[in-house]
Structure 1
Amino acid sequence: MMVPAEIAASKQVSLITFKKDGTPVATPVWQVSEGNTLTTVSLADAWKVKRIRNNPRVEVTPCDIRGKVPPGAQTVSGTAVLLPPSETERARRLLAGRYISARIGAFFTRLFHIKRPPAVAIVVTF
């Protein structure tokens, strides 16, 4: 299944992960869509990453920067995979290609030799 056009065109998506008891937790994230996958990057110790390790089932819905889902927005189920650190930099470059804020942040990180906290790429397959 290809990434729905509504999700691919959305600047942010609500990434819904599930707690051990099945409670959904929505988090707005930047994303880049390619074919049948959606890629994002998160801090390695973020709760959404911990929830994905326990349960790779996720749902994705278009949203605004604050996580507000527009009425009638399509939700799609998928399976999330956490990529190894060696592939996280590629995901960061993908996001930088789409978001100017990511490019500016990467520029200042390199300019001032700021050490980034450990991150992990998340790839959702639909």
Structure 2
Amino acid sequence: MSAPTAVTALGDADFLSLTTYRRTGEPVPTAVWAARDGDSLVVITSATSGKVKRIRRDPRVLLRPCDQRGTVAPDAPSAQGRAEVVADRAAQEGPRRALAAKYGWKFRAIDLMALAGRVAALLGRAPGERIILRLRD
């Protein structure tokens, strides 16, 4: 593995504050799970989430370690990066394995709930598709 970049150096944190930007430039932070996958970090999220819509328009992101509620310590390191939406199911396998390796049973439980959401979506009851965000310097 190559030397960590500013983005991948944050990959050991349990939670990261992923900041995306509205059209107005207003920052929108969200606490996420992230895992290293090669030379990037990967995040899994709902395909219809606000962060995905914002990233499709503006791929700039700011990453900082945080707690599960999204609280960032004043002295926390940060990294500017760019996000890419990975919607192709085949391209999601490696990132899903990386997240499962880092978060174990918790990731599997969340992924199982997402599967139930996809089944509900097929029945016309709720949106359920999950996609990967790939974060790089």
Assess same fold via TM > 0.5.
Answer: yes
Shift of 1:98: 1.0
Residue 114 of structure 1 aligns with an amino acid whose one-letter code is A
Match of 1:23 in 2: 26
SS of the residue corresponding to residue 85 of structure 1 reads: coil
Match of 2:133 in 1: 122
Match of 1:32 in 2: 35
Q: Which piece of structure 1 moves more, 69-78 or 86-95?
A: 86-95
TM (norm. structure 2) is: 0.79
**Aligned equivalents of 1:75, 1:59: Cα separation in 2:** 7
Match of 1:103 in 2: 108
Q: Which piece of structure 1 moves more, 47-56 or 85-94?
A: 85-94
Residue 101 of structure 2 aligns with an amino acid whose one-letter code is G
Shift of 1:35: 4.7
**Aligned equivalents of 1:91, 1:4: Cα separation in 2:** 14
**Aligned equivalents of 2:13, 2:56: Cα separation in 1:** 26
Match of 1:85 in 2: 88
Q: Which piece of structure 1 moves more, 35-44 or 17-26?
A: 35-44
Equivalent residue pairs, number: 122
**Aligned equivalents of 2:23, 2:117: Cα separation in 1:** 33
User: Percent of aligned positions with the same letter in both sequences?
Assistant: 34
